Amino acid sequence: MNQINAFNIKVHSATLSEFVSFIKQSLEQKKHLTQFGVNSATVNEACENEEFRTVINSADLLNVDGMSVVWALRFLGYKVPERVATPDLAEGVLEMAAKQNYSVFLFGATDSVLGLCRENLSRKFPGLRIAGWRNGYYQPYEEGMIIEQINKSGADILLIGISSPQKELLYARHRDRLDVYYVLGVGGYFDILSGRTKRAPKRIQNMGLEWVFRLIQEPRRMWRRYLIGNNKFLWTMLREKYRNKK
């Protein structure tokens, strides 16, 4: 799979179908695979947090999750076929899992959200095996017990619905103990799947304005990430362009 090195992190340039095919093949071969999405907030965090950057770069796959990152990479001269939004990737993986009889563990969000997720998954993907679930609110001393719960479930696939950088750093602390074949960080996907939040219409997504839609829905939680973070990302992109010219 084609790899791009920019902003001191690696991303993989591929389509949604290519990612799902690669993941399917990896599961068939019982290989261990970890994947996280890269958006502007990921780039900002990676530029400032060396530990986070190291963890991100240790992942097997990094999909271009944000439209702003697609545009930035193209501006820098890289070929990116399309945005692979993590919610779309998660849906593709779950559809494949239902067809191939792989089991899934849901980790993140609240218990009520997870309950709605399980109901909706049973309707969207009949036959999908949900091996277990755990909410994303815990104390540090509980991490070991959560990993044990995931392992005991026998799940093939783990979806981590926790914000960055917490989910990546949590994974890094326990990756040697995790006994699943595929780990995907899905961020706020469980809120979308449950119906608690809505995704922007496709037209708005393609315009790169999904962040505005999210900001309107959750202004208190998202204003700093987008209003400050977007300007920071723009500066990072211009700095990367200048560095490449040297």
pLDDT in tens, 20-61: 999 999 999 999 999 999 999 999 999 999 999 999 999 999
- Summarised one tens digit per residue, pLDDT across range 72-90 is 999 999 999 999 999 999 9
Which pTM does this prediction carry? 0.91
**Neighbour-count burial for 135-163, b at 16+ CB within 10 Å, e otherwise:** bbeeeeeeeeebbeebbebebbbbbbbbe
Domains of the chain: 9-17+27-198 (3.40.50)
104, 73, 80: which is closest to 190 by C-alpha?
104
Per the structure block, which two tokens stand in for 129? Answer: 């095996």
- Report the relative pairing of strands 61-64 and 33-38 from DSSP bridges: parallel
Question: Contact at 8 Å (CB) between 26 and 33?
Answer: yes
Tell me whether strands 103-108 and 157-161 are parallel, antiparallel or unpaired: parallel
| Model confidence pLDDT, tens digit, residues 156-195 | 999 999 999 999 999 999 999 999 999 999 999 999 999 9
Asked if 109 and 135 count as a contact pair (C-beta separation under 8 A), the reply is yes
Please list, in sequence order, all residues whose beta carbon lies within 8 angstroms of the beta carbon of residue 39, skipping any fewer than 6 positions away: 65, 66, 68, 69
Q: Is the pLDDT of residue 103 over 60?
A: yes
Distance of CA 132 to the CA centre of its chain: 19
Q: How confident is the model at residue 225 (pLDDT cuts 50, 70, 90)?
A: low
